[in-house]
Amino acid sequence: MRLVKVPAMSLEPGMFIAELDRPWLETPFALQGFVVRDTSEIIHVSNYVDHVYVDAEYKGRPLALALVAAPTAPNPKDRLELSEEFQRTRVSFETAADTLDRVFDSLRNGLRGDISAVQEAVNPLIEGVFRNQEAVAALLRLKESGDYRYHHGISMAVWAAIIGRHLGLHRDELEKLAVGCAMCDVGMTQLPPELLDQAENLTEQQLRIVHAHPIMGAEMVAKS
């Protein structure tokens, strides 16, 4: 047996999971070692672990190894109840949104933006992704449906952290990714207000100005 570390969301049907990144008893899997049969099982596995160890030499045919909850298996200790994490994430989201708005206002007025403040503000949201991703995603979906205050930059940052985690990025990489997504539209603060209010029928020259906002934003962040 030759074990290879694989991010849970990078699993493919037919792979044999030999080990997890945590004790088996901290998961609801009744079998210690099984073959992944389809996408639904990959998603199920990724709900409980970040990485797995697959047998690179496995050549057997997939067996019907159902992923059923063991009656005595406890829930992972680091997973908060959904409602508790939802409320915690809601507060963190509002704090991050307020922080990002202040930074954007500073840059809009020609002042230096405190990028470190944005970094500190998104960190609790990244931690929430690790504790209970379902609660974080549920809050984002509610915000996007209009039930709660929506903030494009922070929502992008959190979705990026969720996707980055599934891709197996390290914690510091997730932080950089989230901050980058939160700041991606900062260049829009330098566009003429009348251009921002004009949602359609832009001229070619106006489109060139709008499309230049990522470059302007990168320059602004580099100076901060």
Residue 145 DSSP class:
T
The phi, psi pair for 201, rounded to 5°, reads 60, 40
- pTM of the full structure: 0.59
Residue 68 has pLDDT above 60, yes or no: no
The tens digit of pLDDT for each residue in 156-205 reads: 999 999 888 877 788 889 999 999 999 988 888 888 877 777 767 788 88
pLDDT at 122: 95
Please give the Cα distance from 112 to 221 (Å, whole number).
9
pLDDT at 40: 77
Residue 69 DSSP class:
B
Average pLDDT over residues 40-64: 76
CB proximity list for 94: less than 8 A, separation 6 or greater: 149
Joined tokens for residue 140: 């984002």
CA 183 from chain centre, in angstroms, equals 15
pLDDT at 217: 81
Average pLDDT, the chain: 80
- Domain layout of the chain by residue ranges: 1-77, 82-184
Alpha helices in the chain (DSSP H): 39-46, 82-108, 115-131, 133-144, 152-166, 171-182, 193-197, 204-211, 213-223
Please tell me the total number of residues recorded for the chain in this structure. Answer: 224
Residue 10 has pLDDT above 90, yes or no: no
Query: Among the listed ranges 61-70, 83-92, 143-152, which one has the minimum average pLDDT value?
Result: 61-70
Contact 18, 53 (CB under 8 A): yes
pLDDT at 95: 94
Strand order in the sheet with 51-55: 3-7, 51-55, 16-20, 34-35
The phi, psi pair for 21, rounded to 5°, reads -90, 10
Average pLDDT over residues 15-27: 86
